[in-house]
Amino acid sequence: MRRETTIFKVNSIQTQVRTKTSGGEVVKVTVRKHPNPRIDAMEALQLWMDYAKTTFQNEHVWFNISERQPTSLQRIKEELVAVLRENGIPETFTSNSIRHAVISHFAKQQDADWKAINACARWAPGSRVTQEYYAR
């Protein structure tokens, strides 16, 4: 995710990510405003991007502040787990279990938007991973 491909609108954020599959197709992802400001990803992302823009001279969105360089996916997972533990969330919950829960929630909704779910999960458009492993 890069700043130049992230567009903030009134009730949503649109960005682009590269899928994890070979060839890494670029897909669009939309994050919508949540009514609860305590868990609104839009607000948190806006605050972080404003901070990163003034602090780092780089187009990346996610940074390892101590090393002052773009962060790795592994580092993001470690930070998420640290936040979970600091807030009393049991060790059975990991970055992968949260990802699985969120994708499962979307997949179980009536009229699930498989293309949007694939984009959010960084799977290629047309992938059937969600239908086969999550929507049960």
Average pLDDT for 15-21:
74
**Residue 8 confidence (pLDDT):** 83
| Domain termination residue (choose one: 25, 46, 71) | 71
Phi, psi of 19 (to 5 degrees): -65, 160
- Kindly state whether residues 98 and 67 are assigned to the same domain: no
Spatial separation of the C-alpha atoms in residues 44 and 48, rounded to whole Å:
6
Q: In what order do the strands lie in the sheet with 7-8?
A: 7-8, 12-18, 26-32
50 and 86 inside one domain: no
Angle between helices 73-86 and 95-108 (to 10 degrees): 90
Range(s) of the domain holding residue 61: 1-71
pLDDT in tens, 25-84: 777 878 788 887 777 778 777 887 777 777 766 666 666 667 767 777 788 888 888 888
Beta partners for residue 111, in sequence order: none
Q: What was the pLDDT predicted at 128?
A: 85
Question: Model confidence over 77-132: pLDDT tens digits?
Answer: 888 888 889 989 899 988 888 888 888 888 887 777 888 788 778 787 788 888 88
Which residue has tokens 């090393």?
67
pLDDT for 4: 74
Domain boundary residue among 71, 101, 126? 71
What is the tally of structural domains in the chain? Answer: 2
Whole-model pTM? 0.53
